[in-house]
Amino acid sequence: MAQQEDVFKKIVSHAKEYGFVFQSSEIYDGLAAVYDYGQNGVELKNNIKRYWWDAMTLLHENIVGIDSAIFMHPTIWKASGHVDAFNDPLIDNRDSKKRYRADVLIEEQLAKYDEKIEKEVAKAAKRFGESFDEALYRQTNPRVCDHVARRDALHERFAKAMNDNDLEELKQIILDEGIVCPISGTKNWTDVRQFNLMFKTEMGSTADGSMTVYLRPETAQGIFVNYLNVQKTGRMRLPFGIAQIGKAFRNEIVARQFIFRMREFEQMEMQFFVRPGEELKWFDQWKQWRLAWHKALGLGDEKYRFHDHDKLAHYANAATDIEFKMPFGFKEVEGVHSRTNFDLSQHEKFSGKNIKYFDPELNESYVPYVIETSIGVDRMFLSVLCSSYEEQALPNGETRVVLHLPEALAPVKCAVMPLVKKDGLPDKAREIVNDLKFDFATHYDEKDSIGKRYRRQDAIGTPFCITVDHQTLEDNTVTLRERDSMEQTRVNVADLHRLIHGRVSLNALLRKLG
Ligand code: GAP
């Protein structure tokens, strides 16, 4: 685990050193849990967003996009339940004066039991070798059985406390489990309190009678309140979806792990409107479609798992997380939620407007049910970055740091390099750049040794380096170096476009999804 934490630290400094992610307001000592994306980060982020947007709007003829405002009428947040129920249970340690989310402390305790179980199993597997029967060992080994029983009991108690909103019980669990503050090491805890996560601000001058508005904590409500506008103007029929990418804001108290939990972040959300009674069928379908979208990137199928919710949000009748194996464990990257007709019904009630859908096939009107897929751009970015980072020992004794980014997501697709800065090689290299730049993000680099230039491109995940040498001037061929294998092949300049396009285009990725 400590080793994984070291790797994570390296990834965070790499992200800064190579222009992916900077701490916001850094020269003023930073603003906690707020980050800026640099020159490479913004390209990677845009490519992730494009992949999502195209997968939604190009591959599904019944999904369209919108871009709604961040500010919305404050009653929307009353109707959605966010004013009353968008809370985190917080607990303070009196000695360290540090504040924690009570639910997160307990989840970490659950993860500790899991770690103990896996350690026992791994030890036994080593001891017994080939003859090891893992399933039997898990069922019969007394130590494993004891850990499993404790974990299951804790899990059940925790789920009940969360469902009942029982803050006293959450504190009692923390005390009974002997959970200590990681800073002070003590169990000197305060009571658990609820804390609303929405940021408030004022709209209009006080003289006019200003109004308290919220920075939206999710983009979804912008979709709900526009659903009928889109349905009518787009002549959409159920089932249909509305997709949106945009900023969301949450006053996260425990903001940790770099861009995993931020106060300002970006979401890619899609609400899929369906007939009542059909929602669970669509929920299963969207679970599969969304997992396929992740897996098509080739980051490793074993890095994903579903985690079904024990505590359903106030609006849901089924919910699951798609978790990704980060260096700090399996963590939620995306949620798929069956939100029933809760939000639309609430907006109908609070606005007093009829927002029912008229179903021409059934010849009746009803409030549609909704399946939501909601993914954080920044978490997706983090999962791509973490799984792509590698420190590779080379046969010549050197180490290279390489980002094996999915080629379609890489910020720069190819770098063109004259072998030397003379003999007309830079001119030829520029000529190639000037041709490729219309289709691919292309870098020109003539500084330092060719080895150093390769390393620089490896570090930002550029899939191809094109080297122009003296032979190029004779036969119009260049070397095409591949990032992952470092293999170099001699190819004709005329073939570059086709070769690169076949590998880096989003099209190839989208085709995997059918
Ligand atoms: N509309 C439903 C909704 O917002 P959520 O599970 O609260 O559901 C959806 O958030 C996704 O947004 C999460 O899976 C995560 O990827 C991202 N997200 C939520 N809070 C975040 C935060 N503080 N920082 C970064 N990403 C966050």
* Residue ending a domain, choose from 341, 375, 393: 393
Atom 21 of ligand 1, residue of closest alpha carbon: 261
Are 161 and 26 contained in the same domain? no
Tokens of 290: 């969304």
Main-chain dihedrals φ then ψ at residue 141, nearest 5 degrees: -65, 125
Are 431 and 331 contained in the same domain? no
**Domain ranges, residue 311:** 1-79+197-393
Q: Is residue 381 lining ligand 1, measured as CB closer than 6 Å?
A: no
Atom 17 of ligand 1, residue of closest alpha carbon: 376
Alpha carbons within 13 A on the beta-carbon side of 362: 10
Q: Is residue 267 lining ligand 1, measured as CB closer than 6 Å?
A: yes
Q: Is residue 374 lining ligand 1, measured as CB closer than 6 Å?
A: yes
Distance from Cα 225 to the centre of ligand 1, integer Å = 20
The ligand 1 atom at the shortest distance from the C-alpha of residue 261 is 24
Q: Is residue 244 lining ligand 1, measured as CB closer than 6 Å?
A: no
- Output the pTM of the full model: 0.89
Atom 4 of ligand 1, residue of closest alpha carbon: 218
Are 42 and 185 contained in the same domain? no
* Alpha helices in 262-410, H assignment, sequence order: 279-295, 342-351, 377-388
Q: What is the pLDDT of residue 280?
A: 95
Are 161 and 184 contained in the same domain? yes
Distance from Cα 215 to the centre of ligand 1, integer Å = 15
- State how many domains the chain has: 3
Are 1 and 109 contained in the same domain? no
Tokens of 53: 């947007």
Mean pLDDT (whole number) for 192-199: 93
pLDDT > 70: percent of the chain: 98
Residues 6 or more apart whose CB falls under 8 angstroms from that of 207 comprise none
Distance from Cα 457 to the centre of ligand 1, integer Å = 32
Q: What is the pLDDT of residue 91?
A: 94
Are 215 and 144 contained in the same domain? no
Q: What is the pLDDT of residue 207?
A: 62
Mean pLDDT (whole number) for 86-110: 92
Taking 60 as the threshold, does the pLDDT of residue 334 lie above it? Answer: yes
Are 295 and 438 contained in the same domain? no
H-run or E-run covering 240: strand 240-249
Are 481 and 444 contained in the same domain? yes
Q: What is the pLDDT of residue 327?
A: 92
Taking 70 as the threshold, does the pLDDT of residue 173 lie above it? Answer: yes
Distance from Cα 387 to the centre of ligand 1, integer Å = 20
In the block, which residue shows the tokens 């004066």? 97
* Residue ending a domain, choose from 367, 393, 419: 393
Alpha carbons within 13 A on the beta-carbon side of 45: 23
Distance of CA 294 to the CA centre of its chain: 10
Residues 6 or more apart whose CB falls under 8 angstroms from that of 169 comprise 157, 160, 161
Q: Tell me the pLDDT tens digit for each residue of 302-328.
A: 999 999 987 677 678 899 999 999 998
Are 247 and 226 contained in the same domain? yes
| CATH classification at residue 152 | 3.30.40.230
* Residue ending a domain, choose from 195, 228, 245: 195
| CATH classification at residue 326 | 3.30.930.10
Distance between CA atoms of residues 315 and 339, nearest Å:
5
Q: Is residue 284 lining ligand 1, measured as CB closer than 6 Å?
A: no
Mean pLDDT (whole number) for 414-433: 96
Distance from Cα 375 to the centre of ligand 1, integer Å = 6
Q: What does the longest C-alpha to C-alpha distance in the chain come to?
A: 80
Are 365 and 238 contained in the same domain? yes
The ligand 1 atom at the shortest distance from the C-alpha of residue 267 is 12
Q: Is residue 120 lining ligand 1, measured as CB closer than 6 Å?
A: no
The ligand 1 atom at the shortest distance from the C-alpha of residue 334 is 14
| CATH classification at residue 462 | 3.40.50.800
Distance from Cα 198 to the centre of ligand 1, integer Å = 13
Taking 90 as the threshold, does the pLDDT of residue 2 lie above it? Answer: no
Return left, alpha or beta for 98; rule: phi > 0 is left, psi -120 to 50 is alpha, else beta. Answer: beta
Tokens of 367: 């409030």
Distance between CA atoms of residues 172 and 477, nearest Å:
72
What pLDDT band is residue 496 in, cutting at 50, 70 and 90?
A: very high
H-run or E-run covering 485: none
Distance of CA 441 to the CA centre of its chain: 24
The ligand 1 atom at the shortest distance from the C-alpha of residue 218 is 4
Distance between CA atoms of residues 137 and 130, nearest Å:
14
Taking 60 as the threshold, does the pLDDT of residue 1 lie above it? Answer: no
Distance between CA atoms of residues 456 and 479, nearest Å:
17
Distance between CA atoms of residues 504 and 487, nearest Å:
17
Q: Is residue 378 lining ligand 1, measured as CB closer than 6 Å?
A: yes
Residue-averaged pLDDT of the chain: 94
Decide if 66 contacts 244 (C-beta within 8 A): yes
Q: Is residue 334 lining ligand 1, measured as CB closer than 6 Å?
A: yes
Atom 26 of ligand 1, residue of closest alpha carbon: 376
Q: Tell me the pLDDT tens digit for each residue of 358-402.
A: 999 999 999 999 999 999 999 999 999 999 999 999 888 888 999
Are 74 and 106 contained in the same domain? no
Q: Integer distance in angstroms from the first to the last C-alpha of the chain?
A: 38
Tokens of 291: 């997992």
Q: Is residue 261 lining ligand 1, measured as CB closer than 6 Å?
A: yes
Distance from Cα 210 to the centre of ligand 1, integer Å = 30
Give the number of other CB atoms < 10 A from CB of residue 144: 19
Are 253 and 346 contained in the same domain? yes
Q: Tell me the pLDDT tens digit for each residue of 246-287.
A: 999 999 987 678 999 999 999 999 999 999 999 999 999 999
Distance of CA 468 to the CA centre of its chain: 38
